[in-house]
Amino acid sequence: MKTTDVIVVGGGLIGGAIALQLARRKLRVLLLDRQATGHEASWAAAGMLTPSPETPDAIALVPLAKASLELYAEFVTEVEALSGKTTGFRREGIIQAFFLENARRELNTFVALSHGVGLAAEVMTVGEARQLEPALNPAAKAVAFLPDEGVVDNRALTRATLAAAATAGAEIRADARATAISVEGKQCRGVITTGETIAARHVVVAAGCYSAQIRGVERYAPVRPVRGQMVALRPAAFELDHAIKSERGYIVPRDDGRVLAGSTLEHAGFEKHVTPAGLRHILGAAMEIAPALADAPVIESWAGLRPDTPDHLPILGPTDLEGLLMATGHYRNGILLAPITARLISEWIAEGTVSLPAEKFSPLRFLANAATAGI
């Protein structure tokens, strides 16, 4: 039977970043993906690095999100150096524009909430914002600038992170679906795949919205998919430097001149198709933000599945089975949270303790509910 130090189940950005950190610590790492790596949520995302809480639920995530943003430049530098690939990382700020009736009140609430959780948010006039981004609709009613936030090309970053992990010594295996964890008593001994059982001292589940489909994992990771549709355009009339968010959607620049527009939040099971209603919503929001997009060629559309959890917070850390850890449920923030997730998981495995308070993300918080549900 093959034996290794750590099996990481899932080759998205989260699994890739964890594999990289553990391989850097000289552990033998085997990463398994049920298909080609990097083709799920980490491929589908917009790549905004924005710790600003969009809902009251998300306030609890802010300290983790801020810590991850602070690690980002170092993470990207390491990934780019080891992989020889670029990632489109830019931390030049994001514009938050308000268009609705109560824009002024929404702006004040947003800025007060941001300052309350220690995030920078500067009120700007629409004219000032248009000097930064001339494509911004002059009909915007209020604007804040979030100077610390940024964007990354998540597809490029995921590819580069997996390549960096391989360079650092991790074995990356595609077309290797984990069907169950292998358990003896109170210990997780490894992973059962469709073809074999692989033994490991530690198993990290980073299978995104599919994590609960792995037998033995569902009680720790009751994740479910939330579909998000996206559209890519290639405007000839303007270049975008900053992501711009509004109440209805967002547009995000890419280094090759494309502009990504998103998104939707839909409970549609594991269906990943793009719908006319989704496209109408996204394109409507994008044209409200930047009216010149109305003439831009649409070059791609796609949908992906965010891994959501009952409290919308990620599921991170050890379980009550020795050797089994979760790194899933990153919902709308997995691109942002990859560096801090990798750091925490590698600390738990290599040092047995972590450098940040992480109790509220524990996989054990769902166990009472799982018992009631008979899982």
Ligand X SMILES: Cc1cc2nc3c(=O)[nH]c(=O)nc-3n(C[C@H](O)[C@H](O)[C@H](O)COP(=O)(O)OP(=O)(O)OC[C@H]3O[C@@H](n4cnc5c(N)ncnc54)[C@H](O)[C@@H]3O)c2cc1C
* C-alpha span between 259 and 240 (Å, rounded): 7
CA distances from 64 to 48, 60, 257, 334 (A): 16, 8, 31, 11
Q: How many residues bind ligand X (CB under 6 A)?
A: 44
**Identified binder of ligand X from the candidate list 6, 206, 232, 244, rule CB under 6 A:** 206
CA atoms 44, 247, 314, 279: torsion sign: negative
| Strand 150-151, strand 29-32: pairing | unpaired
Q: What is the CA radius of gyration of the chain?
A: 21
Q: How far apart are CA 185 and CA 132, in angstroms?
A: 60
Identify the residue among 328, 343, 344, 345 touching ligand X (CB under 6 A).
Answer: 328
Per rule CB under 6 A, is residue 33 in the interface with ligand X?
A: yes
Q: For ligand X, give the closer residue by CB, 32 or 287.
A: 32
- Between 32 and 107, CB nearer to ligand X: 32
Task: Choose, by CB under 6 A, the member of 190, 249, 304, 317 that binds ligand X.
Answer: 304
Long-range own/partner contacts, residues 66-69 (CB < 8 A, 24 or more apart): 66/118, 66/119, 67/340, 67/356, 68/336, 68/337, 68/338, 68/339, 68/340, 68/341, 69/148, 69/149, 69/150, 69/336
Q: Does 228 bind ligand X (CB under 6 A)?
A: yes
In angstroms, give the least distance from the CB of 28 to ligand X. 18
State the nearest-atom distance from the C-beta of 334 to ligand X, in Å: 2
**Residues in region 230-249 near ligand X by CB under 6 A:** 230
Nearer to ligand X, 45 or 293 (CB): 45
Q: Rule CB under 6 A: say whether 35 interacts with ligand X.
A: yes
Sites for ligand X among residues 40-69 (CB under 6 A): 40-42, 44-48
Catalog residues that contact ligand X under the rule CB under 6 A. 9-15, 32-35, 37, 39-42, 44-48, 177-178, 206-208, 210, 213-214, 228, 230, 262-263, 304, 306-307, 328, 330-336
